[in-house]
Chains A and B, each alone.
Chain A
């Protein structure tokens, strides 16, 4: 049989704010790049995100965070993923994140943060360089 790994990405919007436009724009760009995007919608708790990541066997978890709560939400999702046994899943995010926070998050194990103004092609490039080799390897 002809086998082909298709990259699957969970796109989630944790926290309480209702701004899902950013999440949808990125999700759209990922679909146009040929990835399968599992979109879980608004108001996801970290454990909901982790449960979905396990059930959907995704290669990557993407978080859209516009609320300013990124310093709380990223570590919470990382812990939830660890509790569900998938701490090795790459995780990335986009939204309004100050440079110093971005550095701290990357230091804390988040694989990439994209801030406003980043062309979505840059996100795709990052996935092709950093995630595809793991998926196909």
Chain B
């Protein structure tokens, strides 16, 4: 129905998105999330108009207060007169494929502000803490004129660190009382942080958590970049000034230093590789369907007639060689 009202690929929708039309942008996001053919062509036309928004990633354990922190950030950026887009991601059920997307609950006070656009996404089986469509949704938010785009990942454990290749600045939110668990998270999630926030800092053990984090950061090489550790009580708005200032300071370093350029290149490289991987897989599967089909190949591997490496090599060889299929 989304497609029926505004046909994918119509020139007008691209223009309307660029003019900031919320309904049209929302429908394009929907088509991108659903992988409707043609939506990507519109995205291609939006791309030259993007790259202006400051993209902030907010990640951390479930229940650490990410949504409340995002809510506070929206408020502060609106006070500065900036337009804010929010992409909030929750996990899809691996069993039903459904999802409950509840991050808007904590951002209710911004629901009718025309300068705020909140979009909830389900992971739809994608790992890494984001949905497959997240980068595209950010692009649309950027194209429609949002000055800041905040990406709230699913509650992460250790490996869900895709946000670092998507956001300009990554905020990792922790809570006191993790104890030895902090050891477990140091490897993955601390390394992606540009800013660390110890939220719910009115709870016992907050200073201890800050000290533990500082000690772990001290273990890094002397030339490692500085990562501020901030305390916050987001439900009362405490510590948010320092967070906003920390984000601004980090953005200034990105603007001025080689680090900003390095990260831009790194993000572009990751994006290209992700797309190549996804598109090559889609094409390989489509090509297989032209021939004897995926099921046949899978069966031969399962029955040990063929090893999976040889099978994959054959599929790839067929993909890049015109003519009849060999599998």
Bound: A57/B204 CA distance, A: 42
Instruction: Flag if B104 contacts A52 (CB, 8 Å).
Output: yes
Contacts of A43 in B (CB 8 A): 108
Bound: A43/B35 CA distance, A: 34
Q: Which of B98, B101, B105, B111: most chain A CB closer than 10 A? A: B98
8 A Cβ contacts from B100-148 to A:
100-102, 104-105, 108, 111-112, 117-120, 122, 124
Closest to A30 in B: B98
Bound: A48/B104 CA distance, A: 11
Asked if B202 is at the interface of the complex by the 8 Å CB criterion, the answer is no
Instruction: Flag if B97 contacts A55 (CB, 8 Å).
Output: no
Select A1's contact among B29, B37, B98, B124, beta carbons within 8 Å: B37
Instruction: Flag if A33 contacts B1 (CB, 8 Å).
Output: no
Q: Assuming A5-B34, A55-B119, is B23 touching A85 (CB within 8 A)?
A: yes
Asked if A35 is at the interface of the complex by the 8 Å CB criterion, the answer is yes
Band of interface residues on A: 35 or more
**What 1/0 mask marks residues of chain A from 95 to 137 whose CB sits below 8 Å from any chain B CB?**
0000000000000000000000000000000000000001101
Asked if B295 is at the interface of the complex by the 8 Å CB criterion, the answer is no
Q: Assuming A31-B100, A38-B101, A41-B105, is B22 touching A54 (CB within 8 A)?
A: yes
Contacts of B99 in A (CB 8 A): 31, 36-37
Instruction: Flag if B111 contacts A52 (CB, 8 Å).
Output: yes
Contacts of B101 in A (CB 8 A): 36-39
Asked if B96 is at the interface of the complex by the 8 Å CB criterion, the answer is yes
Q: Assuming A31-B93, A31-B99, A39-B100, is B111 touching A48 (CB within 8 A)?
A: yes
**What 1/0 mask marks residues of chain B from 73 to 115 whose CB sits below 8 Å from any chain A CB?**
0000000000000000000110011111110110010011000
**What 1/0 mask marks residues of chain B from 1 to 19 whose CB sits below 8 Å from any chain A CB?**
1101000000000000000
Select B96's contact among A8, A34, A48, A137, beta carbons within 8 Å: A34
Closest to A3 in B: B35
Select A56's contact among B97, B112, B119, B279, beta carbons within 8 Å: B119
Q: Assuming A57-B30, A86-B23, is B112 touching A47 (CB within 8 A)?
A: yes
Asked if B26 is at the interface of the complex by the 8 Å CB criterion, the answer is yes
Bound: A37/B111 CA distance, A: 17
Select B35's contact among A1, A32, A35, A45, beta carbons within 8 Å: A1
Closest Cβ–Cβ distance, residue A113 to chain B (whole Å): 22
Q: Which of B29, B34, B285: most chain A CB closer than 10 A? A: B34
Contacts of B30 in A (CB 8 A): 8, 57
Asked if B168 is at the interface of the complex by the 8 Å CB criterion, the answer is no
Asked if A6 is at the interface of the complex by the 8 Å CB criterion, the answer is yes
Asked if B241 is at the interface of the complex by the 8 Å CB criterion, the answer is no
Asked if A4 is at the interface of the complex by the 8 Å CB criterion, the answer is yes
Closest Cβ–Cβ distance, residue A63 to chain B (whole Å): 15
Closest Cβ–Cβ distance, residue A100 to chain B (whole Å): 32
**What 1/0 mask marks residues of chain B from 244 to 286 whose CB sits below 8 Å from any chain A CB?**
0000000000000000000000000000000000110010010
Closest to B37 in A: A3
Select A2's contact among B35, B40, B117, B119, beta carbons within 8 Å: B35
Asked if B211 is at the interface of the complex by the 8 Å CB criterion, the answer is no
Instruction: Flag if A48 contacts B23 (CB, 8 Å).
Output: no
Closest Cβ–Cβ distance, residue B307 to chain A (whole Å): 27
Select B104's contact among A38, A57, A135, beta carbons within 8 Å: A38
Asked if B27 is at the interface of the complex by the 8 Å CB criterion, the answer is yes
Instruction: Flag if B98 contacts A32 (CB, 8 Å).
Output: yes
Contacts of A66 in B (CB 8 A): none
Closest to B26 in A: A57
Instruction: Flag if B1 contacts A40 (CB, 8 Å).
Output: no
Contacts of B242 in A (CB 8 A): none
Contacts of B122 in A (CB 8 A): 6, 36
Bound: A123/B57 CA distance, A: 37
Closest Cβ–Cβ distance, residue B171 to chain A (whole Å): 23
Closest Cβ–Cβ distance, residue B304 to chain A (whole Å): 29
**What 1/0 mask marks residues of chain A from 70 to 111 whose CB sits below 8 Å from any chain B CB?**
000000000000001110000000000000000000000000
9 A-B interface contacts by CB (under 8 A)? A8-B30, A31-B98, A34-B96, A37-B99, A38-B101, A41-B108, A52-B104, A55-B119, A137-B4
6 extra interface residue pairs, beta carbon distance < 8 Å, beyond A38-B102, A40-B105, A40-B111: A2-B285, A33-B98, A37-B101, A40-B104, A57-B30, A135-B2
